[in-house]
Structure 1
Amino acid sequence: MYTNFLKDYKSEVITYPNTNLNNSILIFWDDEICDNNEIKCLSKISNLAGISSKLFSKKIVALNDNKRLLININSILYFYYEGTAINIITDNNSIYRVNHSLSFWEGRLLEENFIRCQKGYLVNIEKVVAIVPYFNSTLALKFKGHDKTVPVGRKFAKHFKDIIGW
């Protein structure tokens, strides 16, 4: 159905007939070549329908030096909000920028042991190696091989303690 629509554009259509995703497609395009908003809209609709997240549930697309990379979610230490951007820190201390809000990522990665510990942070609890007392009855999280600590806000401390069995 969409293949005829897309044949005139420099894009690649991949169908997955052997999955349980009936008539699903993934669309990849080069932003510099294809500025067709209909194709981009179609791809966003397929992503919102969960097609790509079902096929690539352990990877996310992140931006670094104007390159889009697939990052394994198991290598992510935490997401944080900075200015108008959402960044991630990986276990090799690399910084990447991602689309969407922290709430989006919190919902998508809930089953992957990511929890909100403060308004501007979403952490991979599997990567935390130490929890230390912080000022004003809060906590701070430390990660292996990473110098910075991530605060756990008072609003999130009780929920955080319940999750880890404190």
Structure 2
Amino acid sequence: MRRRTLFESSPLGTLRREVDRLFHRFMPPASTGEMLRHPLEHIGCSWLHAYPPTNVWEDNGTLYLEAELPGMREDEIDVTISGHELVLKGTPKPEEMPEGATPLIRERDVPSFSRVIHLPVEIDQAKITATLENGILTLTMPKTESARSRQIKVRPVAGAV
């Protein structure tokens, strides 16, 4: 005897069945290891893993950016700024296998990337610093004097009661 669930005939049950159907349509059972390594590539989503995860924050005088770039070296990273646009590019050199070696599993290739990040304020471009430590790229970007917030004192009008 088939057991019925609470939502089987409700709109939520219909939604669940539709999501399951779509999932099985676009994510068929993997017959090769390639599907397990890059499950979204076969539906045109290889770009999902091509951007490094990034955090951007600010304090009164400075904007900061951290991007995860594991395994990359300084000479593989390009950072440029033009106006309010910061461009991060990375072109990792492929790992070479020893001569005569036949790769059995190769999962550590990192794709090249290019990412444009809009900066909300003017940056003093001459004072930007960039460091790479333990796979984390850190940019310190001082704001221009005009972009810094400042307190405006409110004064009474002379002669006003």
Q: TM over 0.5, yes or no?
A: no
- Give the structure with the higher percent strand: 1
TM-score if structure 1 supplies the norm length?
A: 0.24
Bigger radius of gyration: 2
- Give the structure with the higher percent helix: 1
TM-score if structure 2 supplies the norm length?
A: 0.25
